[in-house]
Amino acid sequence: MTQQTPAPVQVRPSHQVEPGGRPTLTFTARRRGKPPRHLADLTTAERSEVAKELGLPAFRADQLSRHYFAHLTRDPADMTDLPAAARDQLTATLVPELVTKVRDMTADRGATVKSLWRLYDGAMVESVLMRYTNRTTLCVSSQAGCGMACPFCATGQQGLTRNLSTAEIVEQVRLAAKASRDGELAGGPTHLRNVVFMGMGEPLANYRAVVGAVRRMVDPAPAGLGLSARNVTVSTVGLVPAIDKLAKEGLPVTLAVSLHAPDDELRDELIPINSRWKVGELLDAARRYFEATGRRVSIEYALIKDMNDHAWRAQLLADELNARGRGWVHVNPIPLNPTPGSIWTASERDVEQTFVDTLRNAGIPTTVRDTRGSDIDGACGQLAAEVLVEKKVPAKEQQQG
């Protein structure tokens, strides 16, 4: 599909690495194939036109859309209000299979399910469905791999394979909503309430598809799934022009900024995109987002032992946020979920507490993120990497034999 680039950035191809073996920052996908057309990619008017092209009344597309978005099914057998002769034709044309489950892993006594999905071209993405006391949340992927090259992130180390389409993102949400409704999480049936774009990929580097997916999520049936925009969170490592563009979309979603360091010297090392848009520019854009939408911004901060967890950095972060006003931001420190063999590890508990106390004492609302699925390689990208390794090992053994 056509790559959406928020602003010119000098980058190298995603398959290249620096001399030390570290992936490089990129917006250029390895694959550019286009997924099959799906009704979630289309407006209601466009869906009606497809029905007419098939020789069917326009309202048949509306009926199909209600089955998909309201009843959460793409199975023709469930669509008894459609003429039998039209069901297979409509479903094959407008709700083709976009994702196939490869593997599920469960944690938290069944309250967390991490799923690996294979896309039409063999690319793989992950999603995580999490049941809490008062809500059920899906962490969704927007890209296969990621081009942001953050060294502590499993997905970032894979490089960018390709962007997902709007429908490929929405299909992850539909399947999670169906699993929740059908009682596939511990505790019985529940209702999917929250969606966070914190899975694989940089959402704002796939701007058009992500905004399209958000609109499908929040539009009422038959146009979409009917979720509340206020229960959708879009994260970014700091694509400033795209943040400003999102602020003008009229979608009151929560913006989450993956900051991870309050000073440019460290953030340049941790978050390569910081070489283009510095901490001050990013926080100014986040403040503008709050002013435009009235939605409090979340600052995501992965606490990495002896790297970014110093009390003085907590104070610097508080000073930077307070310099832009009060009441516009909330900080989520996140105990790092380390990847296998990584030099990066989570902060000690007492260091984490000091960091949190420093922020709170400065008047910054702060909540330590409840990390789920640490016993199932909860950080996105780890399960996909594991399966890729499994696929390579037999071939290698066969060659040796």
**Are residues 152 and 270 in contact, defined by beta-carbon separation less than 8 angstroms?**
yes
- End-to-end CA distance of the chain: give it in Å, rounded: 40
Q: How many CA atoms lie within 13 A of 222 on its CB side?
A: 19
For the record, the structure tokens of 76 come out as 């023709």
Whether this model's pTM surpasses 0.95:
no
Low-confidence ranges of the chain (pLDDT < 50): 1-17, 19, 378, 389, 393-401
Which residues on neighbouring strands pair with residue 127, listed in sequence order? 115
The amino acid sitting at 130 is M
Instruction: Give the per-residue pLDDT at 390.
Output: 59
**Are residues 229 and 172 in contact, defined by beta-carbon separation less than 8 angstroms?**
no
The amino acid sitting at 272 is P
Tell how far CA 212 is from the center of its chain.
14
**Are residues 186 and 109 in contact, defined by beta-carbon separation less than 8 angstroms?**
yes
Instruction: Give the per-residue pLDDT at 7.
Output: 37
- Contacting residues for 38 by C-beta, under 8 A, at least 6 apart: 94, 95, 96, 98, 165, 167, 171
CA-closest candidate to residue 232, choices 213, 254, 250 = 254
Which residues on neighbouring strands pair with residue 118, listed in sequence order? 100, 124
**Are residues 259 and 299 in contact, defined by beta-carbon separation less than 8 angstroms?**
yes
Instruction: Give the per-residue pLDDT at 295.
Output: 98
Report how far apart, in Å, the C-alpha atoms of 287 and of each of 161, 290, 291 are: 32, 5, 6
Catalytic residues: 126, 380
Please, what is the Cα angle at 9 between 127 and 123, to 5 degrees? 30
**Are residues 130 and 112 in contact, defined by beta-carbon separation less than 8 angstroms?**
yes
The amino acid sitting at 385 is A
Please, what is the Cα angle at 336 between 331 and 342, to 5 degrees? 150
For the record, the structure tokens of 44 come out as 């209601």
In DSSP notation, 74-115 reads --GGG-TTS-HHHHHHHHHHHS---EEEEEEEEEGGGTEEEE
